[in-house]
Amino acid sequence: MTSTAFDLFRTSDDHEELRAAVRELVADKVTPYAAEVDESATYPQAAHDALVASDFHAPHVPEQYDGVGADALATCIVIEEVARGCASSSLIPAVNKLGSLPVILGGGEEIKQKYLPRLAHGEGFSYGLSERDAGSDTASMKTRAVRDGDDWVLTGQKSWITNAGVSEFYTVLAVTDPDAPRGKGISAFVVEKSDPGFTFGAKERKLGIKGSPTRELLLDGVRIPGDRIIGEPGTGLPLALRTLDHTRVTIGAQAVGIAQGALDLAVDYVKQRQQFGKRIAEFQGIQFMLADMAMNLEAARQMVYVAAAKSERNDPDLPFFGAAAKCLASDTAMAITVDAVQLLGGSGYTQDFPAERMMRDAKITQIYEGTNQVQRLVMARQLLGR
């Protein structure tokens, strides 16, 4: 068997050097502010500035558009390492990829040249798909885009939009042909923060990821030029779902990072905490919990990395693996953070330690970019050939 076969099961030296660089940055510029960001529910500006300065804010942008051209696995490693210190901050690179990927996958050269260099230079990109009554059922969206001469006029709202109000650009899905068959008359557009008639709702009051603002997008007759449509009219929903096949992998990476942070915290704590005259790490029951946490975390990480490789190659089975990576990693993160709180005991239930924050942050990874129930539907339909 050649060495190439074994290389499939380990990251490259370049990937590990990237991990070390991000980990150092996070320890210095991100983690120290994570508790304050959560407590005050304020955007992690220090982390933002550090990530932009180091080109970690949108590492996926190709080199021809002034980006660093990181592959899908490298982007996942960046998100994982940032999430290890602060989940809210990890949404900066994650959402920049989510918001801009429709442009990369479905846009022509003109729209790529217009927006991707600006993203590479630090302007954020969010994603507007969900609505109040169109969450998992995306095809039932009501936001409309009507052609008016060479322009499009958008009216409606989008809900649960991550980093809304911070990002400069928004991929927005809207119905352009209400008479088309279900899901066939939806198109994708780029809306800019400064467009007249485009405003934001109040910040949602959330359980976790409090440093990342979640707001509605409100579109009141927003007029945009015709060159802001991404691809052809009517291709928006397939493009949106294809985007999610790729970016669900990054949510898996975020979940792995949160879980790794919780496991690290738990290991450090049980090695120091003493009861009955010895460190609690010496108790077999504690050791069994740690072993299960580490085992399940590594399984989730490997699933995410395999899915990232499939994303990079655009393999035909990516829909299954993207859903599986997101589902497994987020379920694992939720379980590990709950166990971390348990291992810290009363201390885990207080804000003096980050375990409770990690547990709250982990929950959203089971919900956004498709609930884990939807991920299981995606996987089952792939198995059944639907």
pLDDT in tens, 267-298: 999 999 999 999 999 999 999 999 999 999 99
Q: What is the reported pLDDT for 386?
A: 72
**Model confidence at 2, in pLDDT bands (50, 70, 90)?**
very low
Residue 203 has pLDDT above 80, yes or no: yes
Mean pLDDT of the chain: 96
Cα 299 to the chain's mean position, in Å?
A: 20
> Which phi and psi (to 5°) does residue 300 adopt?
-65, -40
Give the 3-state secondary structure of residue 231: coil
Alpha-carbon distance values, 110 to 189, 216, 270, 356 (Å): 14, 28, 56, 46
User: Does 130 have pLDDT greater than 50?
Assistant: yes
Question: Across residues 110-123, what is the average pLDDT?
Answer: 98
**225-267 pLDDT per residue, tens:** 999 999 999 999 999 999 999 999 999 999 999 999 999 999 9
Angle (CA) 354 358 363, round 5°: 155
Q: Is 275 exposed, middle or buried (0-12, 13-18, 19+ CB in 10 A)?
A: exposed
Q: What is the DSSP letter of 61?
A: S
Task: Read off the pLDDT of each residue in 132-150 and give the average, rounded to a whole number.
Answer: 95
Name the band, by pLDDT with cuts 50, 70 and 90, for residue 10. Answer: confident
- Per-residue pLDDT tens for 302-336? 999 999 999 999 999 999 999 999 999 999 999 99
Burial of 199 (0-12, 13-18, 19+ CB in 10 A): middle
CA distance 369 to 309: 19
- In the block, tokens 């994708």 appear at 188
pLDDT of residue 263: 98
String of DSSP letters for 352-372: TSTHHHHHHHHHHTTTTTS-H
Confidence (pLDDT) at 362: 98
- Give residue limits of the domains in the chain: 7-120, 125-234, 238-383
Position 169 scores a pLDDT of 99
Per-residue model confidence (pLDDT) at position 8? 57
Instruction: Decide yes or no: CATH 2.40.110.10 for domain 125-234.
Output: yes
pLDDT tops 90 at residue 7 = no
| 1 has pLDDT over 70 | no
How far apart (Å, rounded) are the C-alpha atoms in residues 49 and 28? Answer: 13
Q: Which of 123, 216, 356, 369 is catalytic?
A: 369
- Joined together, the tokens standing for residue 154 give 């958008």
Q: 151 CB contacts (<8 Å, ≥6 apart)?
A: 223, 224, 225, 226
Q: Write down the pLDDT at residue 6.
A: 47
User: Is position 369 annotated as part of the catalytic site?
Assistant: yes
Strand 278-279 with 274-275, pairing? antiparallel
Q: Write out pLDDT tens, residues 334-384.
A: 999 999 999 999 999 999 999 999 999 999 999 999 999 999 999 999 999
Residue 3 in this model has a pLDDT that exceeds 70: no
Give residue 230's pLDDT.
98
Closest CA to 116 of 166, 48, 188, 190: 190
* Residue 161 phi, psi (nearest 5): -90, 120
3-class secondary structure, 264: helix
CA 6, CA 9: separation in Å to the nearest integer? 6
- CATH code of the region 238-383: 1.20.140.10
CA distances from 67 to 54, 107, 189 (A): 11, 17, 22
Nearest in space to 75 (alpha carbons), one of 165, 10, 162, 11: 11
**Fold for the domain defined by 7-120:** Butyryl-Coa Dehydrogenase, subunit A; domain 1 (1.10.540)
